[in-house]
Amino acid sequence: MREIVLDTETTGLDPFSGDRIVEIGAIELFNHMPTGAIYHQYINPERSMPEEAFAVHGLGDEFLADKPVFAMIADAFLEFVGDARLVIHNASFDMKFINAELGWLDRQHLPMSQAIDTLEIARKRFPGAQNSLDALCRRFAVDNAAREKHGALLDSELLAEVYLELIGGRQPDFMLAGSHRETAGQNGQAPEIWRPTPRPAPLPSRLTPTEAENHRKFIEKLGDAALWPKFRLH
């Protein structure tokens, strides 16, 4: 099963009031494991950056001036996405912007049914709790120390780990290939593989003394031919 964990950064909250996408970051998962394939693109919004949005992601007019406009990257983006499920935190927001950009190019929209909303999943699992990406990182002990500002690719990396926790837990050796954060296995060294270790002390028996005595009396009635006497009770 192919999934794309995706995030965008924008100039504001409403594409139909003139706001545009300025960054897309996406990570490919196959059967819930990262393949190492990513899509990352900064985009010239063809408008000035509001101060409020700049404070969130730090992407300014000068930095974005020489980046391609959405029309130039649309084909590559759609090719990367394909028909994969899109894993997005607050999917209605990102899908609204992506489909607005596609609509302005007379391109077919991506259906909302293609999206998995991790915010919706989190609200069902933790009703009444904070379910922002940062809050979920804290809940699941996902290291988000590098997240000083919002960034589409970094947020996709974090969301991939959060998503796997939301649906049942990360693999012990889960690592995002090419992560912007520190990962094991850099400098040509093989990553350390997690292995379970024996318990420091065995778990105590759940059998009560009365139950043990009743069992002893029962197997005595079975006679010497029974298998039970060959096993010692712990």
For the chain, the farthest-separated pair of C-alpha atoms sits apart, in whole angstroms, at: 90
CATH topology of domain 2-166: Nucleotidyltransferase; domain 5 (3.30.420)
Q: Beginning with the edge strand found earlier in the chain, give each strand of the sheet holding 85-88 in spatial order.
A: 33-42, 21-30, 2-10, 85-88, 115-117
Asked whether the whole model's pTM tops 0.85, one would answer no
At 80-109, the pLDDT tens digits run 999 999 999 999 999 999 999 999 999 999
> Residue ranges of the domains in the chain?
2-166, 201-234
In this model, does residue 61 exceed pLDDT 90?
yes
Which active-site residues does the annotation give?
150
How does residue 194 score in pLDDT terms, banded at 50, 70 and 90?
very low
In this model, does residue 35 exceed pLDDT 50?
yes
Give pairs for 169-173: CB < 8 Å, separation 24+. Answer: 171/32, 171/33
Taking alpha carbons only, the member of 154, 156, 131 closest to residue 58 is 154
Task: Output the pLDDT for position 210.
Answer: 85
At 132-178, the pLDDT tens digits run 999 999 999 988 776 656 789 989 999 999 999 999 865 544 544 44
